[in-house]
Amino acid sequence: MPFAIQMAARVRAGDASAVQLVTAAFERAQALGNERSGFTRLLQRRALAKAAAVDKLVEAGIDPGPLAGVPFGVADLFDVAGEITTAGSRTRSKAAFASRDARAISLLEAAGAVLIGTQNIDEFGYGFVTMNAHYGLTRNPHDPARVAGGAAGGSAVGVATGIVPISLAFDTNGSLRVPAGLCGVIGLKPTYGDLPTAGLHPFVESLDVVGALGRDLDDVALVRTILREGAPERQETLRGEIAFGRLMSWFDDNIAPEMRGPLDEFWNRLGRVSFELPHSEIARAAASVIIAAEGASLHRPALEADPMQFEPPVRDRLLAGLLMPSDDYLVAQRFRNWIQARLRRQFELADVLFTPAAPGFAPTIADPTMTFEGKPVSARSHLGIYTQPISLMGLPALVLPLAGDFAMPLGVQLIAAAGHEPLLLRAARQLIDKGLCAVPQLPSEG
């Protein structure tokens, strides 16, 4: 499948029609089925009408926009006009139909893109595996016996399988970065507050961001530009060549053997400065406290009405949040401010920091566990150990697949100071050009 920018160029030139591209996306999704496509709901009537409208603009000599006719998907946490935003939970099966599209969807469609469906998530975004008791599991396209990662695993799989070149997703604790790493695609988590979240069903409002997944860096950059609606960029003041730094301590512990060698080789070829970030483990704990407290507050009415509608792991976390003392939440927020200031000092010495995106290969569906501190633990709650501290600090992060011949994809997480996404994208391009990171490839069928 061509990338989004290439697809749009073909549509604008009249070499392909939007209806053809959208029809092909539906055929691919239907052939794969829900578990392997990542889609929970295909919006054929809506999408074909939008695609036909794009083609009419082209026929009339009018430019439909930079994403003309490009099919895309959204995690099922975004409002879609006329549909129920299930947020991956049956507790919302009788919720009101959305009266309008989420702002991010509206902006992409105004640029000519065509929404084709909603994509699977862990219930309410609580989890890192996309194994949903209500709407099914989502399988990793590189090995269907393994998890896709989560919470927005369906969005990563929709891109990784070539159904769509781009997907919109959310990231609170690593929801798009973890599946990007495990499925071998590019995932951008922006600076907190940079992209519009209107129409996104809240998970944890003090952490939630809207982000993008794709197979091409320029496509992901274009989606970000469109969603920013012309907002000015921060001016970069580089010292020269981009300086990279590696976060150690917490971010160098619990790395699986299959990840250790490639990560060290990556670092040896890049060879810059290593940094310690003391108390990173507390940052992860603080993020967990904030999620528990805000999530419990948000879902309290549904918990009180019928707690048994929730998946057991989600219900347990929410009930624990209801019992949490308010002082714990305040302490977590104070620590958040402290560690944000601490990490800002690191950017005085390095422009871009990096960590693993996830500890290693995607765990199996039959045994969704990973090793943490020498013991097997649930992957559902631990796959985000390297993404959660970065979310707490509200920093932009970009996940890229490491270059190499691996049994499964391995991803690296690049991190920049708040508001420095252009620098992050430049750094990613440099790593791809040097052969340190790879352009995502479609998985082999079989």
pLDDT (0 to 100) of residue 212? 98
Which residue, chain included where needed, has tokens 């009405």? 305
389 compared with 311, residue with greater pLDDT: 389
Q: Residue 44 pLDDT more than 60?
A: yes
3-state per-residue secondary structure call for 5-69? HHHHHHHHHCCCCHHHHHHHHHHHHHHHCHHHHCEEEECHHHHHHHHHHHHHHHHCCCCCCCCCC
Among the residue ranges 47-56, 267-276, 405-414, the one predicted with the least confidence is 267-276
**Residues written for the chain:** 446
Ordered by where they begin, the domains of the chain are: 1-446 (3.90.1300.10)
Task: Note if the pTM is more than 0.85.
Answer: yes
First to last CA, the chain: 18
Q: What is the mean pLDDT of residues 35-41?
A: 98
Which position has the higher pLDDT, 138 or 342? 138
Return the pLDDT at 278. Answer: 85
Question: What integer pLDDT is reported at residue 228 of this predicted model?
Answer: 98
Give the mean model confidence (pLDDT) for residues 33-38: 98
- Total H helices, total E strands in the chain: 15, 17
Give the residue among 310, 322, 295, 312 at the shortest CA–CA distance from 92.
310
**Across 91-95, 183-187, 198-202, 216-220, least confident range:** 91-95
pLDDT at 238: 65
Average per-residue pLDDT for the chain: 95
pLDDT at residue number 358: 98
Residue 431 has pLDDT above 60, yes or no: yes
Query: Which pLDDT band holds residue 445 (cuts at 50, 70, 90)?
Result: low
- Tell whether the model's pLDDT for residue 235 goes beyond 80: no
Nearest to 76 by CA among 144, 125, 134: 125
Q: Say yes or no to pLDDT of 225 above 90.
A: yes
Residue 312: pLDDT band (50, 70, 90) is: confident
Find tokens 């295909």 and name the residue. 42
Q: How confident is the model at residue 239 (pLDDT cuts 50, 70, 90)?
A: low
| For range 338-350, the mean pLDDT | 88
CA torsion 236-237-238-240 (nearest 10°) is 120
What pLDDT score was predicted for residue 126?
92
DSSP 179-207: HHHHHT-EEEEPPTTSS--TTBPPS-TTT
Q: Is the pLDDT reported for residue 446 higher than 70?
A: no
For the ranges 119-123, 345-349, 416-420, the lowest mean pLDDT is seen at: 345-349
Question: What is d(CA 379, CA 177) in angstroms, rounded to the nearest whole number?
Answer: 15
pLDDT at 346: 86
Q: What is d(CA 87, CA 120) in angstroms, rounded to the nearest whole number?
A: 9
